[in-house]
Amino acid sequence: MEPLFGVVLGLMLAVASPAHDSCTCETNKWAVCAQDGPGNCTCRLAGSDHPVDCSTLTSKCFLMKAEMMPLKEKRLWRPPQGLSDSDGMYDPDCEDSGVFKARQCNQSSTCWCVNTAGVRRTEKGGSSLSCSELVRTRWIYMELTHKRSSSAFAVPDVAKALTQLFESRYKLHPKYIAAIKYDPPLIQIRLDQNKKPRWDVDIADVAYYFEKDVNNDSVFPSNSRFTVSVNGDALAIEKLGIYYVDEKPPEFSMRQLAAGIGAVVTVVLLTAGIGIAVLLVLRWLHRRTYKKFECKEMREIKAPSLE
């Protein structure tokens, strides 16, 4: 019976092992997953208690918060009075649904308003700053270039490859891809999403996943490689720029613009003043030299002849 028992036990372990190995998150490498029952795998965001739906993209707000956790643990303590003027990466405040809170603040009680992509859309202010609503990012414009090859790709082939990439890897419905234009080596992509149904991914999350992929810092697990292939040839992306357009225009005050204009005007006036002063000095020197020469000639004419 013992050999039979051993065979049965080995089969049980062989069946259980893949189930345990499959308890991972396919769309978020920072998710912590655990088997809490037969065939039931629960994943939560690293450093928080938020559950993660691994069948779709994790919200950008939750991702940024997860990214900040290793920084807090591995880096030196940052004094609370230290100011940070970085608009790229910060520890965001998220709603339970994963969307950004309209007002974000840093450790120094400096606050600002953001859009649904977490991008600042107002001047920075104090803790009394009020953000009445979370303004939606209506469309996103991406501009990227690829490494030059011996021959350019066909425009329809590039558009087809990128559409398939966004649909298969980022779960984005093609109806939100408004346009893809290709002028080698420049590629322009416009994502348009006026309203987002609950079951669709947000274009802001798609743009963030794509940006991380291009920068070789993918959110996906290491076994999910990022590749873009056009008819079997690799499309090697070199540079990527992302621009966000909201439903409402940003609310930056004119003070910064006025200060910039004032600085330009000051520089122009100073330059003009220095130029005029130099011209006056040169003119004075020229007239002085001319008068000296004229006086010398007059003296030579008036001097009596010795003959």
Q: Would you say 59 and 94 are in contact if contact means Cβ atoms under 8 Å apart? A: yes
> Is residue 303, in this structure, part of any structural domain at all?
no
> Is residue 166, in this structure, part of any structural domain at all?
yes
**Could you give the C-alpha distances from 121 to 252, 287, 302, in angstroms and in order?**
7, 59, 81
> Is residue 3, in this structure, part of any structural domain at all?
no
Token code pair at residue 298: 């007059």
pLDDT computed for residue 7 by the predictor: 42
The number of beta carbons lying within 10 Å of the beta carbon of residue 18 is: 9
pLDDT computed for residue 299 by the predictor: 58
Distance separating alpha carbons of residues 242 and 203, to the nearest angstrom: 12
Distance separating alpha carbons of residues 190 and 15, to the nearest angstrom: 46
Distance separating alpha carbons of residues 50 and 72, to the nearest angstrom: 19
Q: Is the pTM of this model over 0.85?
A: no
Which phi and psi angles does 134 have, rounded to 5°? -95, 105
> Is residue 299, in this structure, part of any structural domain at all?
no
> Is residue 81, in this structure, part of any structural domain at all?
no
Distance separating alpha carbons of residues 198 and 195, to the nearest angstrom: 10
Which of 139, 193, 166 lies closest to 57, judged by CA? 166
**Could you give the C-alpha distances from 69 to 30, 73, 114, in angstroms and in order?**
10, 6, 21
C-alpha neighbours within 13 Å on the C-beta side of residue 216: 4
**What residue has token string 């940052």?**
78
> Is residue 54, in this structure, part of any structural domain at all?
yes
> Is residue 123, in this structure, part of any structural domain at all?
yes
Q: Would you say 204 and 177 are in contact if contact means Cβ atoms under 8 Å apart? A: no
pLDDT computed for residue 88 by the predictor: 65
pLDDT computed for residue 297 by the predictor: 57
pLDDT computed for residue 165 by the predictor: 96
> Is residue 297, in this structure, part of any structural domain at all?
no
pLDDT computed for residue 87 by the predictor: 61
pLDDT computed for residue 21 by the predictor: 53
Question: What is the domain count for the chain?
Answer: 1
Distance separating alpha carbons of residues 101 and 94, to the nearest angstrom: 5
Which phi and psi angles does 53 have, rounded to 5°? -90, 105
Residue 231, class by beta-carbon neighbours within 10 Å (0-12 exposed, 13-18 middle, 19+ buried)? exposed
Task: Tell me the residue range of the domain where 94 lies.
Answer: 31-68+87-251
Which of 227, 243, 244 lies closest to 162, judged by CA? 227
**pLDDT tens track, the chain, 307 positions:** 444 444 444 444 343 333 345 788 999 998 989 888 777 889 998 767 788 999 999 999 999 988 887 655 444 444 443 333 346 678 899 998 899 999 999 877 899 999 999 999 999 999 899 999 999 999 999 999 998 765 678 999 999 999 999 999 999 999 999 999 999 889 999 999 988 888 999 999 999 999 999 999 999 998 888 989 898 888 889 889 999 999 998 987 644 444 445 555 566 667 777 878 877 877 777 776 656 555 555 555 555 554 4
